[in-house]
Amino acid sequence: MEYKKILQITVILISQLIIGSCSTGGKASFSGDVDGEQLVTTRKFAGTFLEYRATVTDDLPRVEVVWIKTSLESIYGKICAEGKRCEFRKGDRLYLTRKHYNPGMVGGRWEYFIENDSAVIYKLTDYQSDKHVSAKTWF
């Protein structure tokens, strides 16, 4: 039984990667049940990586963040993610991803990320202050 579940999740994740990496502006999604928790993922192309700048937030508690510049800066601005440094490489295709976690109770929560095709992932800050918007408005 466990083998079938792992195989099913693997097939779904591979199909998500194929759909997401072939798309330039569309969305790919995955929904499934993993260990009793429902998980929904949406992926959106955010441009190619150009450069980044590391800084620390002014608000308390202070958080180390990176400001990521992509080829679609005119749409998203510089994207703010948690981290000390950025391991994306110039020219990497970047995607905005949101994942909805639902532990089986009422509600759940969305978390937002930026990732490349090589599994480098950074969690976005809730508020993208470069464009004065919340990351959730991009979906």
Segments of the chain assigned E as strands: 27-34, 37-56, 64-70, 79-82, 93-102, 109-115, 121-123, 127-128, 133-134
- Series of mean pLDDT values for 10-residue runs along the chain (139 residues): 57 52 42 50 90 86 91 90 94 93 77 93 84 79
pTM (two decimals): 0.67
Task: Give CA torsion, residues 52, 17, 128, 63, to 10 deg.
Answer: -70
- pLDDT given at position 54: 92
The amino acid that residue 94 corresponds to is L
- pLDDT given at position 51: 96
